[in-house]
A and B are shown apart, each in its own frame.
Chain A
């Protein structure tokens, strides 16, 4: 009775599930570097278009800077979202993921973490460099980078819910934007607001705390909501 003896003891373990998804998705991301480059390049180009479009007035650019950098980060995040589940859905891997003995929310958390490491983290690193062309000061650059560091994972988490809800729909891409962008609004307000606060001489802790709290809430809720949406998509 070879088969009957095989009772997996791993049912319901969270961390191995997260580790599997992070490892596999990062490996896949590294094998298709071009796609990562596209997203980062998109971010750099959108940010650069504004100084080109509004002219070289230093005061105007400084005023626009934080908002532009944050809006571009939102759009870049949106651009990479369809990749999160669509490929796995199309090739049947998502079925296998949903049928794995690991909790689906754990596997999805791992996928979101890998997605952020591949798309959000490079964007955080690049942003201070791009911010220089808006003439932001050193403490404003710090506030921007810290804000993005806390904010972009939240974007990935909230975006995952939208990506899972629009799985298998025609025109899923545009619907995804309509669903997700309104959810991004609070992050945008507090993210850009933190940089503005620094400029006004206020402490950054307030804005960063709100971004941190949003991240924690999304960390708890988003994987569960995405898991439920994935199951509906597979039914």
Chain B
């Protein structure tokens, strides 16, 4: 269970948000909306412990999250703005490298399946340098299911994705939540998740 209590954040001297509290049990997703610069990315970075909150605290499974908390790191997939791909490596090598970095070296079959799911089967041997923005985003998202972590923190995951990509992303999220996972998603786009599992948070 992921819980935020009375979180506040500031950028420089300007306050971004304050008094933010929510609690997500297994199977729930929080969609964070708000205009540019309202602190969506900052909130995600606070949740994972990468940025210090100005006030308040985050709890994971009832324990307070320290900065770069190892217990939380081992349970989370964090996908930021940048897709974290190396131009010199192929799509498949990038995916393998990122999975291994997360301590979850993937079987080749599982990796091919993940690439297949994201319609990247034909691009798997191409260097990331020649992939389009949407395809790079797909490679980045392909590690979601591969890593099988209970908490997903996604920053604008639908950016540059086409309609088919949206469908794949929604299917991945549905399966994750149905399996008892938790997701926090900062997004501008409507992901059409089932209303039963969905919470919404709007930052002003």
Contact = CB atoms under 8 A, between A and B. Distances in A.
Sorting the interface of chain A by its residue count into under 10, 10 to 19, 20 to 34 or 35 or more gives 35 or more
A57 interface: no
A8 B104 contact: yes
Nearest to B50: A234
- Chain B interface mostly helix, strand, loop or mixed? loop
B68 A231 contact: yes
A100 B50 contact: no
Contacts of B176: 3
B180 A1 contact: yes
A99 B181 contact: no
Interface size class of B (residues with CB under 8 A): 35 or more
Contacts of A6: 104, 147-150
A91 B84 contact: yes
Nearest to B83: A92
B52 interface: yes
Contacts of A2: 148, 179-180
Interface stretch (B94-102, B160-168, B191-199): B94-102
Given A3-B181, A6-B150, A11-B70, A100 B103 contact: yes
Interface string B72-101: 011110101111111111000100011011
B88 A100 contact: no
Contact of B97 (A11, A24, A92, A102): A24
Contacts of B87: 91
B67 interface: yes
A12 B69 CA distance: 11
Interface of B: 26, 48, 50-52, 67-68, 70-71, 73-76, 78, 80-89, 93, 97-98, 100-104, 147-150, 176, 179-181
Interface of A: 1-4, 6-8, 10-13, 16, 20, 24, 27-28, 31-32, 90-93, 95-102, 104, 107, 231, 234-235
6 contacts: A7-B74, A11-B73, A11-B103, A28-B86, A97-B101, A231-B67
